């Protein structure tokens, strides 16, 4: 049983299956949680089912392109070897 609360935007791992996912919606009125697995698959479950899962909170994956099947590396908007000293460098590069 999990005591980890669902928080929109946070990533979790199901300790039984090893699947990583993000909480993308939470409907407190309907008592449901919508999650998106790294491969893009969506699933909705009720809060009771959520708290029955063996979950741990994890960091968001560095490679956010998992749900996008046909994305090309050039479409990511950055060179994977490129280092940015701060957020302003990233924004300046995107404007060029």
Please give the angle made by the CA atoms of 96, 64 and 43, to the nearest 5 degrees: 140
4 assigned to some structural domain: no
Tens-place pLDDT, residues 13-32: 999 999 999 999 999 999 99
- CB atoms near residue 84 (< 10 Å): 12
- CB atoms near residue 77 (< 10 Å): 8
53 assigned to some structural domain: yes
Tens-place pLDDT, residues 52-79: 999 999 999 886 555 555 555 555 555 5
29 assigned to some structural domain: yes
C-alpha span between 61 and 21 (Å, rounded):
10
C-alpha span between 1 and 10 (Å, rounded):
19
82 assigned to some structural domain: yes
Domain count, the chain: 1
5 assigned to some structural domain: no
Residue 44 dihedral angles phi and psi, to the nearest 5° = -115, 140
Question: Given a cut of 60, is residue 8 above it in pLDDT?
Answer: yes
pTM: 0.66
35 assigned to some structural domain: yes
């Amino acid at each position: 049983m999990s005591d980890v609360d669902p928080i929109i935007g946070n990533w979790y791992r199901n300790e039984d299956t090893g699947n990583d996912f993000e909480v993308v919606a939470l409907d407190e009125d309907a008592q449901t949680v919508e999650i998106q697995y790294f491969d893009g698959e969506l699933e909705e479950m009720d809060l009771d089912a959520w708290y029955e899962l063996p979950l741990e909170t994890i960091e968001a994956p560095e490679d956010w392109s998992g749900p996008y099947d046909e994305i090309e590396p050039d479409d990511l908007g950055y060179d994977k070897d490129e280092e940015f000293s701060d957020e302003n460098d990233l924004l300046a590069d995107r404007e060029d």
